[in-house]
Structure 1
Amino acid sequence: MTAIDLAAMRQHNSGLVLASLFQAREPVRMATLVRQTQLSRRTVELILSTLIDEGWAAETSEPVGDTLGRPPRRYQFRTDSALFATIAFDPHAATAAIVDAYGHIRHQASTVLEDIDNPSECLQSASDLLKSVIADSGCPRPSLRGIGISVTGRIDDDGTVMHLPYTPAWTGVRPGEHFASVFGLPALVDNDTNLAALAEQWVGGAGGYSNFVWLIAGYRLGAGVVIRKDIHKGLHGAAGEVVQVESMGLAAMRAQPLGLISSPVPAQRAQALSIVHAAEAGDVEAMKSVEELLDLIEPVVSTFAWTIAPEAIFLGGGLEQSRLLTDQLQRRLEASGLPPIQIRPSSLGENAPLLGAAYMARSAQNDTLTQALRENHLATFPVSAN
């Protein structure tokens, strides 16, 4: 006879109850939890008592109505019980945020990176920033479950920086090890567009797509590729690093005035957006700049269309701010006879990599309770913790 692991069974059952609370997103009654978990009422009561004591759940009051007698008890998941710290690096700055398990940013701040060619200095500045964000957010330290880190370059599966297009100094750096050492939490690293794609799938507009590409083009250039709901990283994280394809002439985007729409510098983005607004108002010269940028983006999109044939391509990193760019690119693709791919703006703006980093950190948790905080329709991020 096979021995029953009672501790494992209790953990499994606790995960079922917590998952029901988490997925409900609002207070639920005891009867609902019993029905959804198919556990006995007494078992659910005992589990709820433990979850409340450990800070995962809270009992709430039933709204006052016309019914007589004792109102049914209701319970809900505590959003402050599982929080994830995130850091996003770009060539000029680092941004830190605290994100909950639903993908809501609770607090964030940024700092300028004085010398991007000095990885140690940048990592120290970013960890100092994250410490202040944690303190300012007021989140209880035990609620922090992990750290997700976004870097704008090619990242290997083990979190090693293989190549950053703007500086060779980061090659071989493992940012996750630094943050894991400083904060005593598992820390994971990946490319910004991979993470942006996962964020789009998690809390953006790509939840209904199995195959799609998240594209940033202009001053910055890269793509996150999702195939069958899983990120496709390729060999040593090279998939989607189209910035490296010199034969496509993509470097010209950096010199194109409208290419600054994807710049990490706010003033430069505003400058490019003014051109878009002028084009929308009918300015001929501004519209010429729009067409010139689309001339450079269209071959990238066409390549993805005929190699991956995604259901949709999401434009982000600044491109999402212009409906004109999205619509004009869609018209071009339809006129060229490409597969019927939808061109859509990202719904997440500049926070996409931060949110994707939180998703990565959440997916990598290996304890039963935090694992319960997952949606069944989303992929588990294939990466190992440092």
Structure 2
Amino acid sequence: MDAPPSSADIRHANALTCIHVFRASEEPLTISDLVQRTGLSRPTIDAVINELEEGGTLTEVPAGSSRANGGRPARRFQFQSLNALVAGIDSGPSNVTVMLADLRGRVVGRASREISGSPTASQRVDTVVSTVRDALADAGTPASKLRAACVAVSGTIGLDGKVAQSYFVPEWNNTDLARHLGNELGCHVFLENDTKLAAYAEHHFGSAQLAGNILYFHIGTRIAFALTIDGKIHQGAHRSAGELASLRGFRWTTNSVKGNLTWTGAESTAAILSMVKRGDSDAHAEWARFVTEIATRIATVSLVFDPDVIVIGGELPASDLSGEFITAVRTEVRRLILLDLKPDVLASTVGAESILRGALALGFHESSRQLFGIEGVPVPDISEVRADNSPTIRQTPAAQTTPLTGRTQKVPSHE
């Protein structure tokens, strides 16, 4: 039998309940409002408010006019969504992109810088720091409000939190990037693999929100995969889960060379897609072979992990051939797997910013105490802020029509 919750557990649960109510309200709330919306007692809410006020998450707003009966107006408290910011940082080989979110999950600042030449690790760090400061300027908030940052890296992260190995950005190898950035930015910084963050974004915001076990494949200029189990990124004993590119001699497909997709009759994946659309027979044959080979690999990995669903993201699923590609892979995967229960294959619905949104989501999850003063505050949805400062909530489409054929591909909606 489970032990009854302690008084500390109860206080923690009460604080989470109040934060949830405050975060959902744009207007100041009174204690009576909170009693009505949470079912908690006034003394309990008083204690929670005092704690949240100390951390700056709540502030008391000036009282309005007196009540009609001449009594004192009720005290009102406002959730301070800009009291702390989270940064999602994608530190790719050729550019750095930053997205800032407030405590409601609203994106309040963005910035991007290109990287040219052969920069040193120190120069790359400087570029990341400068891009974060650009995003803070875009948000119009001081650097002191930045409390946490999750940095996406193309490579493996060691148990010590350093970049263990990166084929695409070798300057990061054995670099204590989190410490350097933390010193420069003055906040909690941690690293994660970019594909794992994209998988994490699919769990929180994408087509597989109701699934705990997701097998995510990134297919575009390169191929990589990651796995979430019970909604958490699967790391393995040495944080090397999913690093098949580190297996000597391994190739995802005939077209995969040293981690990059190459094509016999085209310079890029986009180019061969264009040739397939124009009806080029050689390009179509190479494309068909690629689909068969990658589907075989996906089916093999799927049988190892037995996921609820397979999600494919990257440049290919976002292309004009997305419907044909996903349908062809799904058909081949289901043909190859002889079991009665087979995972579905879905296209990513998070889009091109899946890595950044995954970084923000993990930043909220891992840095709850730095942001709210307590552990375990749920990850918010990530929404855009319009010019009138109201959020634009991202909607997951119920269906997608592919431009090439006009066919409609059903995508689960989890609104």
**Alignment partner for residue 193 of structure 2, among 181, 191, 195?**
191
The CA deviation at 1:59 is 8.6
The superposition leaves residues 2-32 of structure 1 with CA deviations (integer Å, 9 ceiling, x where unpaired) of: xxx999987775444113323x466577556
The CA deviation at 1:52 is 6.8
1:242 matched to which residue of 2? 244
Q: Which runs of 5+ in 1 are unaligned?
A: 61-67, 262-267, 377-386
CA distance in 1, matches of 2:262, 2:14: 52
Give yes or no for contact 2:195–2:225 (8 Å, CA) kept in 1: yes
CA distance in 2, matches of 1:217, 1:241: 15
3-state SS of the aligned residue for 1:235? Answer: coil
2:222 paired with 1:225: no
The superposition leaves residues 289-342 of structure 1 with CA deviations (integer Å, 9 ceiling, x where unpaired) of: 431331332232022211001111111121321222111101111222355111
CA distance in 2, matches of 1:25, 1:207: 24
2:40 matched to which residue of 1? 39
Instruction: Give the aligned residue type for 1:34.
Output: V
Give yes or no for contact 1:115–1:121 (8 Å, CA) kept in 2: no
1:369 matched to which residue of 2? 373
3-state SS of the aligned residue for 2:367? Answer: coil
CA distance in 1, matches of 2:51, 2:373: 12
**Alignment partner for residue 92 of structure 1, among 74, 94, 99?**
94
Listed as ranges, the matches of 1:210-359 within 5 Å are: 210-250=212-252, 252-254=254-256, 259=261, 272-273=269-270, 275-276=272-273, 279=276, 284-321=281-318, 322-338=322-338, 339-359=341-361
Normalising by structure 1, report the TM-score.
0.78
Identity between Structure 1 and Structure 2 (%): 24
After the TM superposition, which of the residue ranges 108-117 and 218-227 deviates more from structure 2?
Answer: 108-117
After the TM superposition, which of the residue ranges 110-119 and 190-199 deviates more from structure 2?
Answer: 110-119
CA distance in 1, matches of 2:105, 2:93: 25
3-state SS of the aligned residue for 1:127? Answer: helix
Question: Quick one: structure 1 residues 215 and 73, their matched pair in 2 at CA, closer, same or farther if it must change by over 3 Å?
Answer: farther
The CA deviation at 1:253 is 3.2
1:65 matched to which residue of 2? none
The CA deviation at 1:149 is 0.4
Question: Quick one: structure 1 residues 117 and 309, their matched pair in 2 at CA, closer, same or farther if it must change by over 3 Å?
Answer: farther
The CA deviation at 1:371 is 3.1
After the TM superposition, which of the residue ranges 308-317 and 105-114 deviates more from structure 2?
Answer: 105-114
Listed as ranges, the matches of 1:43-82 within 5 Å are: 43-44=44-45, 47-48=48-49, 56-57=57-58, 77-82=79-84
Question: Quick one: structure 1 residues 166 and 92, their matched pair in 2 at CA, closer, same or farther if it must change by over 3 Å?
Answer: same
**Alignment partner for residue 177 of structure 1, among 176, 179, 197?**
179
**Alignment partner for residue 155 of structure 1, among 147, 157, 167?**
157
Question: Quick one: structure 1 residues 103 and 240, their matched pair in 2 at CA, closer, same or farther if it must change by over 3 Å?
Answer: farther
Size of the aligned set, in residue pairs, is 356
The CA deviation at 1:155 is 0.8
The CA deviation at 1:220 is 1.9
Normalising by structure 2, report the TM-score.
0.73
CA distance in 2, matches of 1:31, 1:279: 64
The CA deviation at 1:217 is 2.6
3-state SS of the aligned residue for 1:237? Answer: coil
3-state SS of the aligned residue for 1:348? Answer: coil
Give yes or no for contact 2:94–2:114 (8 Å, CA) kept in 1: yes
CA distance in 2, matches of 1:102, 1:273: 37
The superposition leaves residues 9-63 of structure 1 with CA deviations (integer Å, 9 ceiling, x where unpaired) of: 87775444113323x4665775563255443235536755875796535799xxx
The CA deviation at 1:145 is 2.0
CA distance in 1, matches of 2:274, 2:81: 40
3-state SS of the aligned residue for 1:81? Answer: coil
After the TM superposition, which of the residue ranges 172-181 and 201-210 deviates more from structure 2?
Answer: 201-210
CA distance in 2, matches of 1:42, 1:51: 14
Instruction: Give the aligned residue type for 1:199.
Output: A
3-state SS of the aligned residue for 1:108? Answer: strand
The CA deviation at 1:252 is 4.0
Question: Quick one: structure 1 residues 280 and 343, their matched pair in 2 at CA, closer, same or farther if it must change by over 3 Å?
Answer: farther
2:19 paired with 1:18: yes
CA distance in 2, matches of 1:222, 1:101: 31
2:207 matched to which residue of 1? 205
The superposition leaves residues 65-113 of structure 1 with CA deviations (integer Å, 9 ceiling, x where unpaired) of: xxx99x9999764432332012212221111221234544332222122
Root mean square deviation, CA, Å: 3.8
3-state SS of the aligned residue for 2:291? Answer: helix
Question: Quick one: structure 1 residues 295 and 174, their matched pair in 2 at CA, closer, same or farther if it must change by over 3 Å?
Answer: farther
3-state SS of the aligned residue for 2:378? Answer: coil
1:264 matched to which residue of 2? none
3-state SS of the aligned residue for 2:331? Answer: helix
Give yes or no for contact 2:296–2:332 (8 Å, CA) kept in 1: no
3-state SS of the aligned residue for 1:223? Answer: strand
After the TM superposition, which of the residue ranges 308-317 and 108-117 deviates more from structure 2?
Answer: 108-117
Question: Quick one: structure 1 residues 9 and 234, their matched pair in 2 at CA, closer, same or farther if it must change by over 3 Å?
Answer: closer
The superposition leaves residues 261-310 of structure 1 with CA deviations (integer Å, 9 ceiling, x where unpaired) of: 9xxxxxx8xx6346436645755444334313313322320222110011
Q: Which runs of 5+ in 2 are unaligned?
A: 1-5, 62-67, 381-415
